[in-house]
Amino acid sequence: MVTKGDMVYAWTPDSGLLEKAECGGAVTALLKSALENKVVDAVLAIRKGVDLYDAVPTIITDPKEIGGSAGSLHCGTTLVSKLIVKYLGGASNQKLGVTVKGCDLMGILELAKRNQLKLDNLLLFGVNCGGTVPPVPARKMITAKFGVDPADVVKEEIDKGQFIIMTKDGQHKGISIDELEEEGYGRRSNCRRCLYKVPRQADLACGNWGVIGDKAGKATFVEFCSEKGAKLVDAAVKAGALATSSADPKGIAIRGKVENAMFKLGEKWRKHDFSAISENLWDVIRDETSRCIKCYSCIDNCPVCSPIKIELTSGTTMVPVGYLPPSPMFHMRRFAHISDSCINCGQCEELCPMEIPLALFSHAVRVEADATYHPKLGSAPYKN
Ligand code: FAD
Ligand code: SF4
Ligand code: SF4
Ligand code: SF4
């Protein structure tokens, strides 16, 4: 009988699924078991679209189809939190199993605080996250740094600090992430600053860090973060849908060390990114946002931004309509109302067609305000 706080190695006995899965296939096996046993009505997961640069959020209700979502897409810069509100009624009338990175989870928690979704109806499968690589720059990086046609890559992974690709003719090539990032490639800049590596506010936190010995690469490291998560694993093991063994204490220690090293790296990037703009933040914001074409993409998927519809003819708009670029107040107003709860998910920046570093600005404001007004925030459940 496992309980909250326990840690195990877990793997699926289904060899077909194990082949497709990232590690031991525990996440997919548990999602399948949750669907089969009606613990959830549907699953919201990420699956490969036309290629591995195309991560597609997908709803699955048939347990036979769950295998299609196995595997980790490191170019999957998706954020699922607002999709639950927009397309799934905030999970108010159905139970959903959702796979979440740290930012997906933070977005969900922010939306739950705003009563936009029903947290009790979610079963959250956290995946540890070292970062995601934006898909278009990833293709450029693979051409420039690996000397490979991105269309020939059939699998990618991040392991031991390297971005590794496998090509259709069976070649493996790996380059250190540090080297890639020094040359402007690698993870998104918000990911470099991210400190939420093991999503312990989910029901389960699953990853590859800490799996050592003969299970390395063949099992998933699972930490039970709630009784709900522990119960699900127990039921799956009893039904023969999942196998587990105790996590090796040396593996647990290694996982802790890697997590700490990632915090230090995140702090280093924060210092690097924020110091470059701290002298004249508002001037930089004004200059950069002067490219804005007012497409509203930065608002659309931001989990902490919920615009209220204003009748354009009523004369109540703060910013005059019909002008490009919009008045700087368009952005100042946005930063003023979102930055206190910005989770550094990077969506605003990722989706901006004018490549304005929006997440950098709102994250910088958030971190500075926290340091000034909430110096004890180190004890908060997540640091963003
Ligand atoms: P599987 O059974 O293969 O299931 C994988 C699940 O991941 C699927 O449900 C799928 O929907 C989901 N998924 C795939 N891509 C994404 C995505 N982009 N965003 C959200 N969900 C996705 N573990 C570590 O210990 N250290 C790391 O540094 C680390 N970095 C990661 C970075 C990314 C972008 C992702 C997605 C995962 C990362 N993981 C990391 C977790 C690890 O790769 C495995 O997902 C985890 O161990 C579960 O393995 P599994 O075989 O049980 O999963
Ligand atoms: Fe992962 Fe954090 Fe980047 Fe989200 S913001 S993809 S959790 S590193
Ligand atoms: Fe995410 Fe940008 Fe919104 Fe911050 S402002 S929560 S980085 S979308
Ligand atoms: Fe302007 Fe970029 Fe936001 Fe579009 S996404 S409104 S271009 S800042």
What is the reported pLDDT for 381? Answer: 42
Q: What is the CA(295)–ligand 4 centre distance, in A?
A: 5
- Ligand 1 atom with minimal separation from the 10 CA: 52
129 lines ligand 2 (CB under 6 A): yes
295 lines ligand 4 (CB under 6 A): yes
> Which ligand is closest in space to the CA of residue 362?
3
What is the reported pLDDT for 329? Answer: 87
Please write the tens of the pLDDT for every residue from 130-161: 999 999 999 999 999 999 999 999 999 888 88
What is the reported pLDDT for 311? Answer: 56
- Ligand 1 atom with minimal separation from the 31 CA: 9
102 lines ligand 2 (CB under 6 A): yes
Please write the tens of the pLDDT for every residue from 14-35: 999 999 999 999 999 999 999 9
Q: Which domains does the chain show, CATH number per domain?
A: 7-132+187-266 (no CATH), 276-377 (1.10.1060)
pTM attached to this predicted model: 0.95
- Ligand 1 atom with minimal separation from the 125 CA: 9
373 lines ligand 4 (CB under 6 A): no
189 lines ligand 3 (CB under 6 A): no
**Would you give per-residue pLDDT tens digits along the chain (384 residues)?**
778 899 999 999 999 999 999 999 999 999 999 999 999 999 999 999 999 999 999 999 999 999 999 999 999 999 999 999 999 999 999 999 999 999 999 999 999 999 999 999 999 999 999 999 999 999 999 999 999 999 999 999 888 889 999 999 999 999 999 999 999 999 999 999 999 999 999 999 999 999 999 999 999 999 999 999 999 999 999 999 999 999 999 999 999 999 999 999 999 999 999 999 988 888 999 999 999 999 999 999 999 997 766 555 555 566 777 888 998 888 988 888 898 899 999 999 999 999 999 999 999 999 988 888 777 665 444 555
> Which ligand is closest in space to the CA of residue 223?
1
Q: What is the CA(60)–ligand 4 centre distance, in A?
A: 32
Q: What is the 3-state secondary structure (H, E, C) of the chain?
A: CCCCCCEEEEECCCHHHHHHCCCCCHHHHHHHHHHHCCCCCEEEEEEECCCCCCEEEEEECCHHHHHHHCCCCCCCCCCCHHHHHHHCHHHCCCCEEEEECHHHHHHHHHHHHCCCCCHHHEEEEEECCCCCCCHHHHHHHHHHHHCCCHHHEEEEEEECCEEEEEECCCCEEEEEHHHHHHCCCCCCHHHHHCCCCCCCCCCEEEECCCCCHHHCCCCEEEEECCHHHHHHHHHHHHCCCCEEEECCHHHHHHHHHHHHHHHHHHHHHHHHHHHCCCCCHHHHHHHHHHHCCCCCHHHHCCCCCCCCCCCHHHCCCCCCCCCCCCCCHHHHHHHHHHHHHCCCCCHHHHHCCCCCCHHHHHHHHHHHHHHHHCCCHHHCCCCC
